[in-house]
Amino acid sequence: MSDAKTRIDETVKANDVVLYMKGTKDMPQCGFSSRVAGVLNYIGVDYTDVNVLADEEIRSGIKEYSDWPTIPQLYIKGEFVGGCDIITEMTLSGELDGMFEQNGISFDKAAADKIREANA
C-alpha cells in the first residue's frame, strides 16, 4: 500500500466519521464540499475533515482508495458512504439518520428533520 493509501486507511479507521473535502469544515473551498460539510455541521455530527487541497498525494489517493472519482467523500466507521449527491439524497430520505443511529454516532435528529422539512 502506498504512503497516501496507508495514511487514508489509518484516518478512516481511526475516526468514526471522516469527510475528505476541498477546504475545511469551517472554510469549504467548493460548493459540493460546502454542502456536505454544511449538513454535517448543521446536524451536529462530530467528524474529522481532511483538506485534499493541502496534500496532492491524498487528493489523488482518496480517489483510488474508494474507487470513486469525485470529492467530497464521506466515510462512516471505515465504510465509504458516498459523495455530495448521495449524501444529499440520504439526508433527504432519512437514510443518513439511520446510518448514524446504527453506528452509534450522535447527531441532532430535530435539525435533520428541519432539513427535510425545508426541502419538502
Q: What is the pLDDT of residue 120?
A: 86
63-68 contacts: CB < 8 A, separation 24 or more?
64/5, 65/5, 65/8, 65/9, 65/12
Name the residue among 77, 68, 74 with its Cα closest to residue 88: 74
Domain that holds residue 59: 3-118
In angstroms, rounded to a whole number, what is the distance separating the alpha carbons of residues 11 and 101?
21
pLDDT of 75-107, one tens digit each? Answer: 999 999 999 999 999 999 999 999 999 999 999
CATH number of the domain that residue 51 is part of = 3.40.30.10
- Put simply, whether the predicted model's pTM sits higher than 0.85 gets the answer yes
Domain count, the chain: 1
> What is residue 1's predicted lDDT score, i.e. its pLDDT?
54
Full pLDDT tens readout for the chain, 120 residues:
579 999 999 999 999 999 999 999 999 999 999 999 999 999 999 999 999 999 999 999 999 999 999 999 999 999 999 999 999 999 999 999 999 999 999 999 999 999 999 998
